[in-house]
Amino acid sequence: MESSNPFEIVKQQIDRCAEILQLDPSVTAMLKSPQRELHVSIPVRMDDGTVRVFQGFRIQYNDARGITKGGIRFHPQETIDTVRALAAWMTWKCAMVDVPLGGAKGGVVCNPKTLSAGELERLSRGYVRSVFPFLGPDKDVPAPDVYTTPQIMAWMMDEYSVIAQKPQFGVITGKPVSIGGSLGRGDATARGGMFCIREAAKIIGIDLSKATVAVHGYGNAGYHAARLCREMFGSRVVAVCDSKGGVRCDAGIDTDAARKCKASTDTVCGTPGTERISAEALLEMDVDVLIPAAIEGVITAKNAGAVKARIVAELANGPTTPEADDILFKKGVHVIPDFLCNAGGVTVSYFEMVQNFYLYPWSEADVHERLDAKMTSAYHSVVNTSREYNITMRQAAYVKAVGRVVDAMKLRGWV
């Protein structure tokens, strides 16, 4: 039976990789278990004077290749298994682009849309106080994720610095540029995905200037993906959606108009010049490039057979189940797997760490050039591995990334 639990999906993917790499069962067992987990309760004084207790997590999945790195989510449906899965994917993601980091992830069960700015700041600072012993520029470095922002990162960095009694800009990435953030970080996840799409189009033979694109999810990654498809390639974005529904326009959607509509109404559904469609229908549209950029498990065994896109570029984490992966592979759909396609964010976060350590900021052009080199190299290494073993792109990404983690574990004497 197809699992909807993201961490169970991670375990299935590790098992598939272990079979290809012929890993010892003890190594596989280590890869399927986080090294460290911290569960915390965070009391927050609300604006009305009452105290609410929020549940939070921080997981350091594997630090064989270096200090751990990973975002912090604020989400009302956050679960420990989701955080475990995301921490695992961060481990493979860092190895995939060959940066010297391990994987981590954090989360708080909350709905930030219902919190005032003051409540959000107190929650952000409370989270850092609760997990302070876990964090550090030479230990574990968080970053933004779903419903967390550069401002939240600034509060968290400041709280850590207050406790440490010295400025510690390097403890957090995704900060505003004026306090140690990196130029090019805002659209890094989407831009990294664009470099992968560009290379995939060359291999498949798609003229991106004439290509049609559908974007599932219109948060930070989804908006920038839609914008960059137009700006970098001249592609026609014909559909976008969010959690409340979607819109299509075969002549092409004004991506900035869709963003303004979402900012004012909390959904893209009223975008001028478009017609309503469901988010589910968007996934099955006849387009050249489909970009899942929202949540886990949206392409499953039930709808994978109806996917018509030639390229599926996963900017979301875990949008495709293992069963759906097999179906897409047999259909000849070129899937750019999540921890390759969306690795631009952590790559530029790593660049931000380097700039913080050196106390020397880079130009945006430098960031883009270095990101392009990292993503292009990673993409082709996965394509070559996929062809060598005749396996899916996701299995190939696992073979490359997990192989690097296992090598580090062996060299350190863990296994």
Q: Where are the domains of the chain?
A: 35-179, 188-341
pLDDT at res. 314: 97
Q: How far is CA 381 from the centre of its chain?
A: 20
Q: What is the pLDDT of residues 352-395, one digit of tens each?
A: 999 999 999 999 999 999 999 999 999 999 999 999 989 989 99
Residue 297 has pLDDT above 90, yes or no: no
Please give the angle made by the CA atoms of 215, 216 and 221, to the nearest 5 degrees. 70
pLDDT in tens, 74-112: 999 999 999 999 999 999 999 999 999 999 999 999 999
Burial tier of 47 (Cβ tally within 10 Å: 0-12, 13-18, 19+): exposed
Confidence band for 3, pLDDT divided at 50, 70 and 90: low
Q: 194-239 pLDDT, tens per residue?
A: 999 999 999 999 999 999 999 999 998 999 999 999 999 999 999 9
CA-based angle 409:405:188, to the nearest 5? 145
pLDDT at position 19, please?
Answer: 93
Annotated catalytic, 105?
yes
263/319 Cα distance (integer angstroms): 24
- Give the span between the Cα atoms of 144 and 221, in whole angstroms: 12
Question: Three-state SS string across 155-218, please?
Answer: HHHHHHHHHHCCCCHHHCCCCCHHHCCCCCCCCHHHHHHHHHHHHHHHHHCCCHHHCEEEEECC
Report the distance separating Cα 207 and Cα 197, nearest Å.
11
Whether pTM exceeds 0.85: yes
Tell me the pLDDT tens digit for each residue of 40-59.
Answer: 999 999 999 999 999 999 99
Q: How far is CA 95 from the centre of its chain?
A: 14
- 3-state SS, residue 362: coil
Asked whether the domain spanning 188-341 has the same topology as the one spanning 35-179, the reply is yes
CATH architecture designation of domain 35-179: 3-Layer(aba) Sandwich (3.40)
Percent of the chain clearing pLDDT 90 (strictly above): 91
Backbone angles phi, psi at 343, to 5 degrees: -75, -5
The predicted pLDDT at position 273 comes to 93
Please identify which of the residues 11, 69, 93, 105 carries the catalytic annotation.
Answer: 105
pLDDT digits (tens, 9 = 90+) for 122-167: 999 999 999 999 999 999 999 998 899 999 999 999 999 999 999 9
Whether residue 1 is predicted with pLDDT greater than 60 in this model: the reply is no
Q: Judge whether 283 and 308 are in contact, CB under 8 Å.
A: no
pLDDT of residue 362: 97
**What is the pLDDT, as a whole number, of residue 39?**
97
Token pair 């009391």 in the structure block, residue:
43
Determine contact, residues 218/259, Cβ cutoff 8 Å. Answer: yes
Instruction: Say what the pLDDT of residue 2 is.
Output: 59
Task: Dump pLDDT digits (tens) for 54-76.
Answer: 999 999 999 999 999 999 999 99
The residues near 102 (Cβ < 8 Å, ≥ 6 apart) are 60, 61, 62, 63, 64, 65, 66, 67, 68, 69, 91, 94
Name which CATH class applies to 188-341: alpha beta
Q: Which helix (H) or strand (E) holds 38?
A: strand 36-45
Do residues 215 and 291 make contact, with C-beta atoms less than 8 angstroms apart?
A: yes
Mean pLDDT computed over 241-262: 95
The pLDDT of residue 4 is above 80: no
Categorize the per-residue pLDDT at 318 as very low, low, confident or very high, splitting at 50, 70 and 90. confident
pLDDT of residue 296: 78
Neighbours of 74 (CB within 10 A): 27
CA gap 395, 399 in Å, rounded:
6
Using alpha carbons only, how large is the chain's radius of gyration in Å? 20
Q: What is the pLDDT of residue 322?
A: 86
